[in-house]
């Protein structure tokens, strides 16, 4: 740089350029409270010319209302007197003809016996933060007004917020639950399920639906249907969870009625097979009894007749017991450890008769080495398989093969049920789980079976999928989390 | 005598043998077809529901193989007397009678032709 470039003049120029470039208003004021200099930003914001501003008293440049409200003259004098700066005061300024602006200002003493008045325009920030507050208030009131339980947790499941519906249903205040683990307020046995759900949410985006009881402050259990959704930050990291719960008391009552009537409908379908299977032992008993009434029969034959009668009665009675077990409403819905293989075999026992009268061969491939343990209500799981088996059987009026294969994965079991029947039209595929959707003739099906299966599977944190093409049979896959 | 239930076969064999009939029992539709195509039988008691085939289907095949020879009574716990399926089978001369399970011994014997 040349010597000329380094002259004091050059610094002044640089200083002026810098002042004009910064997005804040800068004013220098002397002891008489006259304006010594201003930067461009101030002139633009206040819509004043430099000549009308520099050398003028502060009171002439700022509107009276600001002078009075901010008491700025007293503050400046104070800074002159004490040499202590004033920082971060708020000022609302409205130049004639422009919308209101909001400033934060500071008054800084400078060695030239002047003070620097720094004004930063925060109108936009204030507007934004007010907007954020308004949205927050709105969201809070949405959550608070909801009649469903809405709560949020951290990634470990510790409760962060708890809305008024949650307070009302549980009888527990936000203060009582904040920071506590959510599972502490759920029915027993849920800890493991919940841990699994929270683990899944950490890595995945999906919501998880399940049902289990909420324990109230008085110790009662309320059955609640829960939806767990991961809460993500801007980078896609799970930072917590949103849990929405709905009191199921009323819905459960209706569902139970529906399941029960659907079960009875399923019994209707099985009636033919049952009749066949019970009348065979009855016929044997009937004849054997008639033999016993005859004279001159050998004692050996007499014994044989008695044995046939006993065996026949036992056979008929076992069929009836199976039926009763299935037809009876499930007394409770508490989830316990269940061996899925037992459920499947018990269910097959019920439909074997129907399969036989329709010339349907049943192929069963289950995990042999160990029990397949899931958390569930065995009566409900049986209903799922019963419905799917009967659907398969109904799809094969002229006989075929119903195959049931089980595949064990790390965390879940998949049971595939395939028939060799008529298959499902593609247009029907996404409707088959809808309530009242049926392709059966009137009186043959209620259209509720699979929708009930679906809701039962969901309740068990599982799923049901269907694969089919017309004429080539259908495969339904039931997936359930393993214990 | 065709029935997949061994105890049913036992019952009918006992009744028919006591009246001096010679009885051949088979347990499946397939085997019944084979026997009916290769042997002469005075009379056939046929279960309506066999594991591999419908009883009426067996009868149809037997008629097709050797027309007009076999006389069949359908025996079943699955159908009832005025069942449309039964009526139609009688009208088509597929079977000459129907016996519902359970039955009395005289029901069974009455089903046999007197000749």
Give the chain A residue nearest B99 (alpha carbons).
A283
Cα–Cα dist A99/A109, whole Å: 31
Residues of A in contact with B53 (CB under 8 A): 359
- pLDDT value at position B8? 93
Output the CA–CA distances (angstroms, integers) from residue A450 to A212, A340, A353, A355, A387, in the order listed.
22, 19, 22, 19, 7
- Asked whether residue B1 is assigned to any structural domain, the reply reads no
- Asked whether residue A314 is assigned to any structural domain, the reply reads yes
- Asked whether residue A1 is assigned to any structural domain, the reply reads no
Q: Give the sheet arrangement for strand A238-247, strand by strand.
A: A159-162, A149-153, A238-247, A221-232, A208-215
Cα–Cα dist A255/A262, whole Å: 10
CA distance A309 to chain B (A): 10
Cα–Cα dist A459/A478, whole Å: 13
- pLDDT value at position A69? 78
Residues of A in contact with B102 (CB under 8 A): 279, 282-287
Residues of A in contact with B77 (CB under 8 A): 275-280, 282-283
| Same domain membership, residue A470 and residue A379 | yes
- pLDDT value at position A223? 85
Give the chain A residue nearest B7 (alpha carbons).
A284
Per-residue pLDDT of chain A (483 residues; tens, 9 = 90+): 444 555 668 888 888 888 888 889 999 999 999 999 999 998 988 888 988 899 999 888 888 877 877 888 898 999 999 989 988 788 887 766 777 888 888 999 988 889 999 988 888 888 899 899 999 899 888 888 888 999 999 999 999 999 999 999 899 999 999 999 998 888 777 788 888 888 889 888 889 888 888 988 898 888 888 999 999 999 888 999 999 998 887 777 777 777 777 777 777 767 777 777 888 899 999 999 999 999 888 999 999 999 999 999 988 888 887 777 777 766 656 788 999 999 999 899 888 888 888 889 999 999 888 889 999 988 889 889 988 998 888 888 888 999 999 999 988 999 999 999 988 888 777 777 766 566 665 445 555 678 788 888 888 889 999 888 888 899 999 999 998
- Asked whether residue A134 is assigned to any structural domain, the reply reads no
The DSSP letter of residue A208 is: E
Candidate from A275, A280, A288 with C-beta closest to B5: A280
| Same domain membership, residue A302 and residue A431 | yes
- Range of the structural domain that residue A192 is part of: 146-247
Complex ipTM value: 0.88
Give the chain B residue nearest A397 (alpha carbons).
B54
- Asked whether residue A337 is assigned to any structural domain, the reply reads yes
Tally of CB atoms within 10 A around A317: 12
Angle between helices B29-38 and B55-65 (to 10 degrees): 20
| Same domain membership, residue A436 and residue A348 | yes
- Range of the structural domain that residue B85 is part of: 6-111
| Same domain membership, residue A283 and residue A420 | yes
| Same domain membership, residue A166 and residue A121 | no
CA B115 to chain centre: 18
Query: Which stretches of A233-324 are assigned E, i.e. beta strand?
Result: 238-247
The CATH number covering residue B90 comes to 3.40.50.2300
Give the chain A residue nearest B28 (alpha carbons).
A359
The residues pairing with A238 across neighbouring beta strands, listed in sequence order, are: A232
Cα–Cα dist B31/B42, whole Å: 17
| Same domain membership, residue A224 and residue A359 | no
Hey, is the C-beta of B49 within 8 angstroms of any chain A C-beta?
A: yes
- Asked whether residue A75 is assigned to any structural domain, the reply reads yes
- pLDDT value at position B95? 92
| Same domain membership, residue A192 and residue A205 | yes
- pLDDT value at position A1? 45
CA A88 to chain centre: 45
**Start-end of H helices in B1-115:** 6-18, 29-38, 55-65, 84-91, 105-111
> Which portions of chain B are predicted below pLDDT 70?
114-115
- pLDDT value at position A257? 76
Terminal CA-CA length for chain B: 19
Hey, is the C-beta of B80 within 8 angstroms of any chain A C-beta?
A: no
| Same domain membership, residue A384 and residue A358 | yes
Q: Which residues of A touch B (CB under 8 A)?
A: 272, 275-288, 290-291, 308, 311-312, 356-357, 359
| Same domain membership, residue A406 and residue A280 | yes
Residues of B in contact with A308 (CB under 8 A): 7, 10-11
Exposure string for A21-50, b = 16+ CB within 10 A, e = fewer: eeebbbbbbbeeebbebbbbbbbebbebee
- Asked whether residue A31 is assigned to any structural domain, the reply reads yes
Answer whether B10 sits within 8 Å of A284, measured CB to CB: yes
The domain boundary residue, chosen from A247, A279, A296: A247
In 3D, which of A201, A202, A183 has the Cα closest to residue A192?
A183
Give the chain B residue nearest A315 (alpha carbons).
B7
Total domains in the fold of chain B: 1
- Asked whether residue B24 is assigned to any structural domain, the reply reads yes
The CATH number covering residue A307 comes to 3.30.565.10
Cα–Cα dist B73/B67, whole Å: 16
The domain boundary residue, chosen from A221, A247, A273: A247
CA A235 to chain centre: 20
Output the CA–CA distances (angstroms, integers) from residue A119 to A17, A166, A470, B17, in the order listed.
18, 47, 76, 120
**Start-end of H helices in A328-442:** 340-357, 378-394, 426-429
- Asked whether residue B67 is assigned to any structural domain, the reply reads yes
CA distance B42 to chain A (A): 23
The CATH number covering residue A104 comes to 3.30.450.20
The domain boundary residue, chosen from A247, A272, A299: A247
Total domains in the fold of chain A: 3
Tally of CB atoms within 10 A around B30: 14
| Same domain membership, residue A260 and residue A230 | no
Give the chain A residue nearest B49 (alpha carbons).
A357
Candidate from B8, B15, B51 with C-beta closest to A356: B51
Answer whether B77 sits within 8 Å of A275, measured CB to CB: yes
Candidate from A272, A283, A357 with C-beta closest to B11: A283
| Same domain membership, residue A403 and residue A283 | yes
Query: SS3 for B23?
Result: coil
| Same domain membership, residue A408 and residue A375 | yes
């Amino acid at each position: 740089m040349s010597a000329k470039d380094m002259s004091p003049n050059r610094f002044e120029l640089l200083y002026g350029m810098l002042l004009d470039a910064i997005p804040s208003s800068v004013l220098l004021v002397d002891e008489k409270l006259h304006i010594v200099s201003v930067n461009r930003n101030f002139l633009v914001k206040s819509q004043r010319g430099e000549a009308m501003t520099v050398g003028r008293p502060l009171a002439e440049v700022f509107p009276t209302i600001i002078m009075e409200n901010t008491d700025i003259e007293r503050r400046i004098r104070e800074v002159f007197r004490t040499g202590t700066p004033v920082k971060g005061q708020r000022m609302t300024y409205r130049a004639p003809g422009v919308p209101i602006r909001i400033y934060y200002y500071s008054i800084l003493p400078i060695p030239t016996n002047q003070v620097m008045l720094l004004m930063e325009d925060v109108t936009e920030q204030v507007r934004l933060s007010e907007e954020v507050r308004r949205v927050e208030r709105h969201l809070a009131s949405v959550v608070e007004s909801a009649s469903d339980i809405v709560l949020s947790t951290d990634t470990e499941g510790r409760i962060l917020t708890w809305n008024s519906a949650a307070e009302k249903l549980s009888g527990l205040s936000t203060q009582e639950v904040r920071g506590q683990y959510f599972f502490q307020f759920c029915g027993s046995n849920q800890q493991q399920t919940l841990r699994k759900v929270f683990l899944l949410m950490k890595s995945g985006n999906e919501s998880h639906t399940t049902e289990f009881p909420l324990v109230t402050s008085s110790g009662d259990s309320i059955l609640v249907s829960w939806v767990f959704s991961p809460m993500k930050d801007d980078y896609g990291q799970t930072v917590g969870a949103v849990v929405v719960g709905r009191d199921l008391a009323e819905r459960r009552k209706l569902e139970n009625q529906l399941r029960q009537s659907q079960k009875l409908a399923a019994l209707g379908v099985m009636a033919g097979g049952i009749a066949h299977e019970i009348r065979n032992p009855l016929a044997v008993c009937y004849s054997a009894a008639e033999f016993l009434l005859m004279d001159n029969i050998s004692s050996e034959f007499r014994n044989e007749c008695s044995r046939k009668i006993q065996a026949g009665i036992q056979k008929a009675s076992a069929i009836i017991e199976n039926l009763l077990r299935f037809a009876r409403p499930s007394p409770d819905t508490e989830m316990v450890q269940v061996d899925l293989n037992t459920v499947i075999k018990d269910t097959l026992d019920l439909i074997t008769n129907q399969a036989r009268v329709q010339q349907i061969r049943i192929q069963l491939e289950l995990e042999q080495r160990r029990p397949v343990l899931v958390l569930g209500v065995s009566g409900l799981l049986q209903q799922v398989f019963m419905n799917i088996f009967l659907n398969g059987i109904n799809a094969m009026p002229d006989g075929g093969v119903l195959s049931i294969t089980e595949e064990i994965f790390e965390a879940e079991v998949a049971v595939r049920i395939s028939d060799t029947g008529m298959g499902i039209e593609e247009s029907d595929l996404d409707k088959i789980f809808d309530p009242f959707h049926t392709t059966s003739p009137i009186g043959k099906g209620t259209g509720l079976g699979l929708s009930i299966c679906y809701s039962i599977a969901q309740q068990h944190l599982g799923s049901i999928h269907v694969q089919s093409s017309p004429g080539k049979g259908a495969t339904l896959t039931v997936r359930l989390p393993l214990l | 005598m065709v029935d997949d239930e061994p105890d049913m076969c036992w019952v009918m064999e006992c009744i028919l043998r006591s009246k001096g009939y010679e009885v051949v029992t088979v347990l499946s539709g397939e085997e019944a077809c084979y026997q009916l195509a290769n042997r002469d039988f005075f009379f056939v008691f046929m279960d309506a529901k066999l594991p591999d085939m419908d009883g009426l289907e067996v009868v149809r095949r037997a008629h097709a193989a050797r027309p007009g020879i076999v006389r069949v009574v359908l025996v079943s716990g699955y159908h009832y007397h005025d069942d449309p399926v039964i009526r139609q089978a009688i009208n088509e001369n597929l079977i000459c009678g129907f016996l519902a399970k359970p039955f009395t011994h005289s029901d069974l014997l009455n089903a046999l032709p007197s000749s």
